[in-house]
Amino acid sequence: MAPADLRTLAETARALVAPRKGILAADESSGTIKKRFDSIGVESTEDRRRFYREMLFTTEGHEEFVSGVILFDETIRQSASDGRTLVQVLTDAGVIPGIKVDKGAKSLAGATSETVTEGLDGLRERLEEYAGLGARFAKWRATYTITHDLPSPYAIEVNAHALARYAALCQEAGLVPIVEPEVLMDGGHTIERCYDVTRDVLQATFAELYRERVAFEGMLLKPNMVLSGSDCPTQADHDAVADATISCFRDVVPAAVPGIVFLSGGQTDETATANLNAMNRQGPHPWELSFSYGRALQAPALKAWKGDDANAAAAQGAYLHRARMNGLARTGSWSADREKAA
């Protein structure tokens, strides 16, 4: 990779984790956004999806706290009501457009209780097209289930390889890869078990990234936080989550990576904010600790909107509030009192 190319990738990666800012994940698949619309009694049509996403992207002031938005294939091709593409709407506001490029987790041959993420076939050509449509970064997600025996070394290895191949192709195309190995919080496992699995997954992922010649300076990591399983009788508090997550990542994440943009992974809106805040209170860290939230940024907006365009301003206010709260968490200055006061 030419030094100039790496410099551009590194600049974009740093911009995505600029102070007080994080990423909105608006890349829900057709099936996922249908479920979210079903929850408020709204039919998931192309026009309703376009309106909803335009409503979020045109929220005045969100660019103070949102550096980039991950788009779905449908969305990157859509236009706003004023005729601009949704990519242009974001760009005009100073928000960086990105794109989800994986084809989803499928059953892993030889280990049907586990998954591997597909989508490498034809990826080089798709990345070229997305770059032409205005994307400047991309995202690929792999998932790992925790049980007493899982994830298997086999599942960890094949997903690490796919993540690394994706990242190398992204950088070749001039796009910053967001590498998302998600250890799912489903289950009754302890935070200690999550620590061990997360460490193993990240070690394998970075070993493959190195082998595939991915430049760490021009990528971002989107991992889970180290948490108690959702069904664990004893839930770790915010400080314990911060301690475990930072300790784990200091062991395995190279300091050359500009930033870690956490996924919310089933946490409530405020819990995801509080855990990020607790981590940043312990800073400084070798990397920026930021957010790349989907549901944890959008859920209040979706509930306020209810599919009624007359509620658009209320929905935008709810979205902006969550973005602002996570902006505070970026500096460790969020608190429950500030949440209530806002």
| One pLDDT digit (tens) per residue for the chain, 342 residues | 777 699 999 999 999 999 999 999 999 999 999 999 999 999 999 999 999 999 999 999 999 999 999 999 999 999 999 999 999 999 999 999 999 999 999 999 999 799 999 999 999 999 999 999 999 999 999 999 999 999 999 999 999 999 999 999 999 999 999 999 999 999 999 999 999 999 999 999 999 999 999 999 999 999 999 999 999 999 999 999 999 999 999 999 999 999 999 999 889 999 999 999 999 999 899 999 999 999 999 999 999 999 999 999 999 999 999 999 999 999 999 999 989 887
* Rounded Cα distance, 100 and 178, in Å: 9
DSSP secondary structure letter of residue 109: T
Q: Which amino acid is at 59?
A: T
Q: Which residue has the tokens 């026009």?
A: 47
Question: Active-site residue 21, yes or no?
Answer: no
DSSP secondary structure letter of residue 294: S
* Rounded Cα distance, 154 and 201, in Å: 11
| Residue 102, beta-bridge partner list | none
Number of domains forming the structure of the chain: 1
Position 4 scores a pLDDT of 64
Torsion of CA 170, 175, 176, 180, to 10 degrees: -50
What are the tens digits of pLDDT across the range 291-309?
Answer: 999 999 999 999 999 999 9
Residue of 28, 54, 114, 180 with catalytic role: 180
- Which pair of structure tokens corresponds to residue 44? 């998931």
Contact 240, 197 (CB under 8 A): no
Burial 116-130 (b: 16+ CB within 10 A, else e): bbebbeebeebbeeb
Crossing angle of the two packed helices 295-305 and 269-281, in degrees rounded to 10: 150
Question: Active-site residue 180, yes or no?
Answer: yes
Q: Is the dihedral of CA 46, 52, 53, 54 positive or negative?
A: positive
Q: Which amino acid is at 276?
A: L
Q: What is the pTM of this model?
A: 0.97
Contact 62, 320 (CB under 8 A): yes
What are the tens digits of pLDDT across the range 53-104?
Answer: 999 999 999 999 999 999 999 999 999 999 999 999 999 999 999 999 999 9
| Residue 261, beta-bridge partner list | 290
Pairing of strands 22-26, 66-71: parallel
Residue of 21, 100, 139, 222 with catalytic role: 222
CATH number assigned to the domain comprising residue 268: 3.20.20.70
Torsion of CA 63, 68, 74, 76, to 10 degrees: 80
Domain that holds residue 268: 3-341
* Rounded Cα distance, 324 and 68, in Å: 15
